[in-house]
Structure 1
């Protein structure tokens, strides 16, 4: 779990979408964001494309990345928890999911959204954090998390919230970093947890 302490984290723009899409598609082929995609890894690309398009117009969407060897190898997408995506963006997202993957997938996303605890305070919501498989287990995800902690504190967020599959390495990482489970639920055969780290 050694990483180069000189690794720089940069702000990404939506003009980096193709590179970001490739990274997220590769990162989530083995551990899909939606449990039912486990049987359909070829659907990961269309899902990530719809996902990025949904957040393109979101106010205060934060995209950060780490490059090594001139390649984007780790990236995160975060939002202010008090700002909802616009209704048109959400409708486009659900329609894109339906077209690419069917209603069952769209329903799973709806369940995740409905199960989100209602937080009074303002949190930075870590929507996605992914690392290319060849660069996993090198501490880059942890480095990104530490960067996000500092950004969230600087912007006076109460903490960070996220959702994770209990049976993935990501859940273990978040637990080790001090995130607590606020709510646990099952969808698509997976146990998902809304987690929170308060500063």
Structure 2
């Protein structure tokens, strides 16, 4: 079994790329239904989401449902104030998007409207692989780990961090670095994983 992060990323990305378009649709719908039943999304919140790429579990079903429920949504942005590894910009159905340097679309909004991760109530995080203990392997840029670094000292503060992935991205065990920020929970098309007992933000 590969254990180097680069090999693991490649393996997990290949698995999700092999899913058919129909499987992608079915997985996104099933995962969204699970998410919408969780205690964290029952009252309007500030929620960070991401737009999928490279075979990631689609977020559009969930995004539209959350907007209808009155949640305030935010998408990650790299084009933000200097010194921030990443920020979150408000997103609505009328938002205008532009691709960043990784060709991921992000909202065009003034930097003054951007917020940091600790100002979110819930954050859905992308990943390439996850394991039984709630560790995630991202793309290697460290944007989420650096944005959530404060949780290393204050693990119970907001936001609740929820991984969003296909079940095929599971790995029995992942290598862990001191700066890696574990997930509180994770949702796939088959189930909700809870790694820590986190109550719903008020």
TM-score, normalised by the number of residues in structure 1: 0.32
Greater percentage in strand: 1
> Which of the two has greater helix per residue?
1
